[in-house]
Structure 1
């Protein structure tokens, strides 16, 4: 009985053995393929994870490297801005100091040109004159004073004209370089200044004389005629000098 079973098994293997072996081989190959594919998939996932991690680290490193550059640029801008502001402040301070220096070296306030009293005030409207028996404006001050009284420059300036043949007598005009000019009339012939001379406020320019024709016989007698020009127009001296 055993021999028959063995014989049948042997004959079966002999006839079907090739297919069995082939089936086993296919199973082995399939198993190996499945294992290999799984391993490749795992390796691919690990590789992709590694690449993603590396890219993330690279991006973080790049961002870290950029921050100092930005800070450095900002620092340069702040430093440049501070330097510009400092330069502007320095220039402003220098300009202010220069202006103060100029202001302190040039007097811009008037002083009385002569000691005395106002005998006839400024009047743009015509007023009566005894000397000529006519009406006409008085575009300045007639300052009553003594003959020979010293006359002074009312403010710093430069002598523009010295005239000895006017209706108001011997006359000196001083340009004060600020749009204003002062006029001193009825002076004595012996004027102490010359055209082009630079004067300080209070410099003597002459003395009161009797050279006027238009006011030679006014009741108030000896006087200095003092006028102020602003541009080309006469203005009231009361705006600048108080008597």
Structure 2
């Protein structure tokens, strides 16, 4: 009977030991869970909170607020130096450009009116029997009538040719005038003439001999033919 009692006592003791171990294990697990929960619910630090509010994080790493970085107060420096004074205006005129033409007053060299107008387009020529540009203007006049200089100028040529007969070329500033089909020529080359001065008389232009008596007047400016009637008064 004593042997049975001892065995029962040992069994009971082992049961209580195992129960105690289980209780300890359960308590430890409960404590670990409680500690984790309380730490999870604790508020973030002020630095972490600022990062969350301002989005100043990159891959979870806190970055200093860029707004706190010092700014430079220096003004940008211009890459081009300021000029001390405005550049002087450059005149578009050169020594070879016409100035006398504007200053000169151009008047009719003879008393008659236009009998054949200036034309860059071909017109019929009775004498030659063909169509060609009329690069001058025909001013009706009597044969032997006085021809006057249109404006102040210098005589550059006095000659006779098969095309225009007796001709006088006068440089009136920027305008070069050729007086064609003259009878008499009363000036010499390099001679200075004044507006209205007699330079010759009306004759016959060989290329327009079938036309009524007239003075054939050609004008050029900067080497280009122009209509004399645009400047004659």
TM-score range, shorter chain: 0.5 to 0.7
CA apart distance, 1:107: 5.8
- Residue aligning to 2:176: 181
- In 1, the alpha carbon distance for the partners of 2:163 and 2:138 equals 14
- In 2, the alpha carbon distance for the partners of 1:206 and 1:130 equals 26
1:124 aligns with 2:105: no
- Residue aligning to 1:153: 149
1:213 aligns with 2:209: no
**Deviating 4+ runs (over 6 angstroms):** none
- In 2, the alpha carbon distance for the partners of 1:179 and 1:232 equals 10
**Mapped contact 1:107–1:201 kept (Cα < 8 A):** no
- In 2, the alpha carbon distance for the partners of 1:234 and 1:166 equals 20
- In 2, the alpha carbon distance for the partners of 1:165 and 1:138 equals 18
**Mapped contact 1:107–1:155 kept (Cα < 8 A):** no
Gap regions ≥5 residues in structure 2: 1-98
**TM-score scaled by structure 1?**
0.53
Number of residue-to-residue matches in the alignment: 134
Give 1 or 2: higher helix fraction: 1
CA apart distance, 1:165: 1.7
CA apart distance, 1:203: 0.8
- In 1, the alpha carbon distance for the partners of 2:134 and 2:114 equals 12
Q: Once the two structures are superposed, what CA deviation does each residue of 1:78-118 show, in whole Å capped at 9, x if it has no partner?
A: xxxxxxxxxxxxxxxxxxxxxxxx98xx9611010111011
- In 2, the alpha carbon distance for the partners of 1:234 and 1:193 equals 24
Matches of residues 1-243 of structure 1 in structure 2 within 5 Å?
A: 108-176=104-172, 178-188=173-183, 190-210=184-204, 212-218=205-211, 221-242=212-233
CA apart distance, 1:125: 0.4
Q: Once the two structures are superposed, what CA deviation does each residue of 1:165-223 show, in whole Å capped at 9, x if it has no partner?
A: 241111100012x32111100100x310000000011110000012x2110012xx110
**Root-mean-square deviation (CA), in Å?**
1.8
- In 1, the alpha carbon distance for the partners of 2:145 and 2:206 equals 19
Gap regions ≥5 residues in structure 1: 1-101
Give 1 or 2: higher strand fraction: 2
